[in-house]
Amino acid sequence: MTRYGYARVSTNDQHPEAQAERLVAAGFGPVYTDKGVSGTQARRKQWDKLLAKLQPGDELGCTKLDRIGRSVANLVEVVADLMAREVELVVLDQNIDTSTPSGKLLFHMLAAIAEFERGLIIERTLDGQAAVRRAGNLRRSLGGPPVLGFREGDEGDDDWQLDQPAAEWLADAAERVLAKEPVEAVLAALPEMHDATGRKVNAKMLRAALQRPASAGLIDGEPAAIAGPLDVDTWNRLQVDFGSRKRGRPVVAGRYPFGPRLRCAKCGNQLTGAPGYKGRDYYACKNPHKGLGVLKPCRGVSVLAEDVHTLIADTIAVWATTPAARLAAARTPETATRRAELEARIADTQDMVADLWSKRQRGHITPARYATLDAEAAVQLDTDAAELDALAKLDAEPGLPPVIEWDKMTPAEQLRTLDKAIETPIVVQPGNGGGAALSAADRITLKLKAI
State the catalytic residues.
10
Nearest to 212 by CA among 181, 164, 252, 173: 173
Cα–Cα nearest to 143, from 122, 129, 127: 129
Q: Report the distance separating Cα 149 and Cα 165, nearest Å.
A: 8
Distance CA 372, CA 232 (A): 52
Using N-to-C axis directions, what is the helix angle for 232-247 and 203-211, rounded to 10°? 120
Name the β-bridge partners of 289.
Answer: 294
Task: List residues bridging with 223 in a β-sheet.
Answer: 218
4 vs 207: CA distance, rounded Å: 54
Question: For 421-431, b where at least 16 C-beta lie within 10 A, e where not — what string?
Answer: bbebbbbbbbb
In contact, 389 and 229? CB cutoff 8 Å: no
Q: Is 190 exposed, middle or buried (0-12, 13-18, 19+ CB in 10 A)?
A: middle
Q: How far from 29 is each of 26, 58, 210, CA to CA, in Å?
A: 9, 11, 60
Residues 385 and 430: their CA atoms lie apart, in Å, by 47
Sequence length of the chain is 451
Where in 280-431 does DSSP place strands (E)?
281-284, 302-304, 426-428
* Residue of 170, 211, 204, 210 whose CA lies nearest to 190: 170
Helix/strand/coil for 412: helix
Torsion of CA 261, 219, 213, 255, to 10 degrees: 10
Q: Which residues have a Cβ under 8 Å from the Cβ of 95 and sit 6 or more positions away?
A: none
Backbone angles phi, psi at 88, to 5 degrees: -90, 150
Phi and psi at residue 127, to the nearest 5°: -65, -45
Find all residues with CB under 8 Å of 9, minimum gap 6, and list them: 15, 16, 19, 34, 35, 36, 37
Q: In angstroms, how far is CA 242 from the centroid of its own chain?
A: 24
CA 22 to chain centre: 49
Asked if 31 contacts 60 with a C-beta cutoff of 8 angstroms, the reply is no
